[in-house]
Amino acid sequence: MPDYVQAVPNCLAWLFRESGPEWREIWDYQFKWTADHRTAEEMRPMIYTYDKLGEAALNRLDEISPPERTGEKGDTPPPDAEEKAPRDLYALVRDNADTDEVLGQLWKEVTTVPEWVDWAQIERGQHVFLRYAGPAIFALAFQSLVGGMGSRRVVETLARTGGFGVNVTRRRLLETFQHVLQVTSSLPAIQPHGDGFASTIRVRLLHAAVRRRILALAAQKPEYYSVEANGIPINDLDSAGTIATFSATLLWIGLPRQGIFLSAREKADYIALWRWVAHVIGAPTDPFATPTAARATMESLLLSELHPSATSATLANNVLTGMADQPPGHVSRPFLAAETYWLNGPRLAEALRIERPRGWLRRCYFSVLVLGQCLFFAAMSYSHKWVPRWDAARRERLRRTLYDLTVRRGELGALGAETAFEFQYVPVLDTMATEVGTLDEAMRRGRELGVGSHERRSLWTLSVAGVVVGCGSWAGWLCLRGGVRALMGLLR
């Protein structure tokens, strides 16, 4: 199905709907089943396999440099603990790779570049992200992440980390965006020894720590987590799904639904970037060998894994409430809800119990604001894409600005300093998902700022677009009328 169909309003989607035994539809997304797709039964063995080398390396690191003990609740050190600098697991792996067999094996794996890696292509993939950074960030946050909470199995792991409560979810998102920005900042950053490369290994070891902790608690209390039902925490299928949400879902759903359509080369380059990230982070790479394979992987996962539960709804709403009315844009929760409906479709958004803006007038208002945002992003993205000199300058400017807003500028709501992806949100037996973040709670937590700067920009874009269309229509009418009069004069 052509990418442009994703940009068609839901009320008109039936005009483009295909029929036949080879077609599948899930959550307002339709695709054609091919030999590249895999059924839930075919993928199920992957929920019991995982990154064993990463976990073995973490165990060795704990022997070489024991971690700081946590308190009973898993979030504070015991009273007699001394203040210690946090461990840098990446540096420990690098510095001990020559003397430790397990760490040496991990280091060799991540620094050995597979033959399928083309560094020029990966650099172009980084440029793709920065070229479309605005719509890409919104798609990653409110389509890949919020919509991805619909995975019933995955949220059982996320809920136990405690990192998606209303009060901490924003920081969790900023840490994720720091990793994305480091991965896409420059080619040296993602090559061995670069900042993005180092962060990816830290995330790999963080995943191993979460997995090990949840399995240890499940051994103490079997009803805490069911391996039989949910698989090993952060298993191979989950890891492939995460890579898919950052790559294929963005290319074939997130960007097209905002009116952004990439070329075949841009898609291939971006998939190649995330295939390399998958290699470093210990995720399967074969599902991303080609754009066709990556898309089939995404669609297979949509069909087999995206079945929201009550926990899915809790975490999805917590993301919206935690992001609402926050600097620098102070975007309202109704706008974020409208964004979620736009990017995910009404069926999935309703299944996640996302509250629509109240009243049909407000619904229309916020939907129009989202449309204005899409027009703004499309105008900015395509204008710079068509002028290569503008494109390069804008990429560099965006890279600095996004890093400031994510990491450096604490006064604007950024992290304030780079995170080392430490094991902050430690699962404990009495910690499950927090209460659902609601629209009312967002209003209580938010300051009365009126229309946020982001929403004002959408209104401004719509106003300018309206003026341009109006003037163009009027000019066209004048030209048409003049042409008709001239033709009539010749015929007399």
- What does the mean pLDDT of the chain come to? 83
With a CB cutoff of 8 Å and minimum separation 6, the contacts of 177 are 137, 140, 402, 406
Q: Can you tell me the mean pLDDT for 322-331?
A: 80
pLDDT (0 to 100) of residue 327: 77
At 390, the pLDDT band (50, 70, 90 cuts) reads confident
pLDDT of residue 269: 98
% residues pLDDT > 90 (the chain): 52
Question: How sure is the predictor about 102, in pLDDT bands with cuts at 50, 70 and 90?
Answer: very high
Instruction: Report, as an integer, the average pLDDT of 308-330.
Output: 87
Instruction: Supply the pLDDT for residue 297.
Output: 97
Q: Say if residue 388's pLDDT is above 80.
A: no
| Residue 427 reports pLDDT greater than 80 | no
The mean pLDDT value for 313-335 works out to 86
Query: So what's the pLDDT on residue 9?
Result: 60
Of the two residues 354 and 393, the one the predictor is more confident about is 354
Per-residue model confidence as pLDDT tens digits over 449-460: 444 555 454 444
Mean pLDDT of 287-293: 96
- Residue 259: pLDDT over 50: yes
Q: Where are the domains of the chain?
A: 40-75+84-445
Query: At residue 71, does pLDDT exceed 60?
Result: no
Is residue 432 scored above 60 in pLDDT?
Answer: no
What pLDDT sits at residue 298?
96
pLDDT tens digits along 182-216: 999 999 999 999 999 999 999 999 999 999 999 99
Query: Cα–Cα distance between 108 and 460 in angstroms, integer?
Result: 53
Q: What is the pLDDT of residue 393?
A: 78
**Percent residues over pLDDT 70 in the chain:** 78
pLDDT band at 337 (very low <50, low <70, confident <90, very high): very high
Q: Decide which of 467 and 43 is more confident.
A: 43
Residue of higher predicted confidence among 139 and 330? 139
Residue 160 is predicted with a pLDDT of: 84
Q: In three state form, how does the secondary structure of the chain look?
A: CCHHHHHCCHHHHHHHCCCCCCEEEECCEEEECCCCCCCHHHHHHHHHCCCHHHHHHHHHHHHHCCCCCCCCCCCCCCCCCCCCCCCCHHHHHHHHCCCCHHHHHHHHHHHCCCCCCCHHHHHHHHHHHHHCHHHHHHHHHHHHHHHHCCEHHHHHHHHHHCCCCCCCHHHHHHHHHHHHHHHHCCHHHHCCCCHHHHHHHHHHHHHHHHHHHHHHHHHHCHHHCCHHHHCCCCCHHHHHHHHHHHCHHHHHHHCHHHCCCCCHHHHHHHHHHHHHHHHHHCCCCHHHCCHHHHHHHHHHHHHHHECCCHHHHHHHHHHHHHHCCCCCCCCCHHHHHHHHHHHHCHHHHHHCCCCCCCCHHHHHHHHHHHHHHHHHHHHHHHHHHCCHHHHHHHHHHHHHHHHHHHHHCHHHCCCCCCCCCCCCCCCCCCCCCCCCCCHHHHHHHCCCCCCCHHHHHHHHHHHHHHHHHHHHHHHHHHHHHHHHHHHHHHHC
CA distance 323 to 336: 8
- Mean pLDDT lowest for which of 164-178, 294-308, 417-431? 417-431
**pLDDT at 469 (0 to 100):** 41
- Range 7-26 average pLDDT: 70
Q: How confident is the model at residue 33, as a pLDDT?
A: 94
Q: What is the pLDDT of residue 484?
A: 46
pLDDT at 419 over 50: yes
Q: C-alpha angle 268/274/280, rounded to 5°?
A: 140
Confidence of residue 474 (pLDDT cuts 50, 70, 90): very low
pLDDT confidence of residue 70: 55
Residue 359: what pLDDT? Answer: 80
pLDDT at residue number 172: 87
- Is the pLDDT higher at 381 or at 85? 381
55-64, 422-431, 456-465: least confident range: 456-465
Higher pLDDT, 479 or 417: 417
Residue 98 confidence (pLDDT) above 80: yes
Over residues 95-103, the mean pLDDT reads: 95
pLDDT of residue 353: 94
pLDDT level of residue 440 (50, 70, 90 thresholds)? low
120 pLDDT tier (thresholds 50, 70, 90): very high
Say yes or no to pLDDT of 306 above 60: yes
